[in-house]
Amino acid sequence: MDEPLRVALLSYRSKPHCGGQGVYLRHLSRELVALGHRVEILSGQPYPELDSDEIVLTKIPSLDLYREPDPFRTPALSEYRDWIDVLEFAHMRTGGFPEPLTFSLRALRELRRRRHDFDVVHDNQVLGLGNLGIPRLGLPLVTSIHHPISVDRRIELQAAKNKRERFGKRRWYGFVTMQAQVARRVGTILTVSESSKIDIVKDFKVDPSDIEILPLGVDTRIFHPRGERVPGRIVAMASADSPLKGVDVLLRAVAKLATERDVHLVVVSKLQKDGPTEKLVRELALGDRVRFVSGISDQELGELLASAEIAVVPSRYEGFSLPAVEHMASGTPLVASRAGALPEVVGDAAVLVRPGDAEELAATLRTLHDSPAERARLSQAGLARVQERYAWPAVARATVEHYRAAIARQNYLRLAAGGARAGADLRSPKAVKATGGALRRLARKEQRPADR
């Protein structure tokens, strides 16, 4: 039960500084290694940045069809290696997003070749059809779903301006149907909040008993208070051109506030050239009142978040929101949308506003800007909530218990199948003792609250 585990972590793309999947992979792998486990990450592009030399990175390269500066590119014939590459390009050319499917097929091929190298496989929201073959290799599988991408699809469709754009969005998000089918068949699913669990059950039709809630953590070595703050600075971390993240609402609110207060906004995001956000900045004549930054180091990001007087998470939906926790860990007073899991994550340590309501957001920002005492109260409340609830070492320990439970279930099923073929009585005292003891011990462990 206490033996170090050999863990394969699957991630079809692993941006290290933005996107919940890449951040989760980076911190979880570091803490698993710190607990003494052997971790190997199987990842497509963009590859992760890792915090320990003990973590093995096995690159599972795709055609990288969305790389900068030539997204939706046409690869040279020499780049094609096999039929999966052909499938990937054909899928992209017909308007779909192929990476979850094609990565899962490549990862299954790698795991089939190396099935004896691992004790457990942890899927970081790939949910491709190839995943269904992993248990058939005799490898226990644990799956993380941070939130169902069906929510992103719904919000993108609502924001579409015409039938052609709606058709394009439906085609792009076609992989969501596959992910729902896979989610119903992979067994244990870990998710990050009660809100995400409800959405997974509703949208993916997963049995609630198959879903366990395990919140994420924050790296307080990077995100912590750092002294003086820049007067009037508001900061946010979000994908600028995704309607889901609500940057458009934040820009409209800041434009209103900037007419009467000396404020400026810094958004940690890469701005799409001539995209909707860049056009909105020009339309609102924000000029030097807003700045977009990207490609900064961890140290620079921590310093930026701790330099603001106010932080904002203006999303129309979040399955968890690591940025919200990182803002609170930085001691920055937080304003967040009353959407998805955000109320669950921030509790009473942030001011909540209606998602999509620029008027209410502007009024709330004005109130906080004018009230140092309220900012100080929210700062302390946020720090206390982080210390109480969100720590990566605790997340890693709890995740390992789910690994051991998956291994025990797989062993039980293997023994049960072997016993059935041999005509054994699986209800005999000897069989029960041999196959059920590990599961009972794990059940007792899982009933104990995580040591945070």
- For 281-314, how does the pLDDT look when each residue is reduced to its tens digit (9 = 90+)? 999 999 899 999 998 999 999 999 999 999 999 9
In the chain, residues under CATH classification 3.40.50.2000 are 6-213, 233-389
Q: What is the mean pLDDT of residues 16-30?
A: 82
Give the mean pLDDT of 118-147: 97
- What is the pLDDT, as a whole number, of residue 69? 84
Closest to 122 in 3D by CA, of 405, 443, 441, 440: 405
**Does the pLDDT at position 450 exceed 90?**
no
Give the rounded percent of residues in the chain with a pLDDT score beyond 70: 91
Domain with residues 6-213, CATH architecture: 3-Layer(aba) Sandwich (3.40)
* Alpha carbons 238 and 292: distance in angstroms, whole number: 10
**Quick check: 437 pLDDT over 60?**
no
Q: Strand pairing partners for 143?
A: 123, 189
Specify the pLDDT at position 419. Answer: 64
Higher pLDDT, 275 or 365: 365
Tokens of 354: 């209606």
Residue 100, pLDDT score = 98
Q: Which residue has the higher pLDDT, 103 or 437?
A: 103
pLDDT value for 452: 41
Nearest 5°: the CA angle 250, 253, 256 is: 150
Residues 210-243: pLDDT tens digits? 999 999 999 999 999 998 999 999 999 987 678 8
Assess whether pLDDT exceeds 60 at residue 439: no
What pLDDT score was predicted for residue 448?
52
Band (375; pLDDT cuts 50, 70, 90): very high
Homologous superfamily in CATH for domain 233-389: Glycogen Phosphorylase B; (3.40.50.2000)
CB within 8 Å of 292: residues ≥ 6 apart = 240, 266, 267, 268, 269, 270, 271
On whether the CB atoms of residues 315 and 339 are closer than 8 A, the answer is yes
- Residue from 179, 126, 189, 192 nearest 150 by CA: 179
* Residue 22 pLDDT: 86
Confidence of residue 430 (pLDDT cuts 50, 70, 90): low
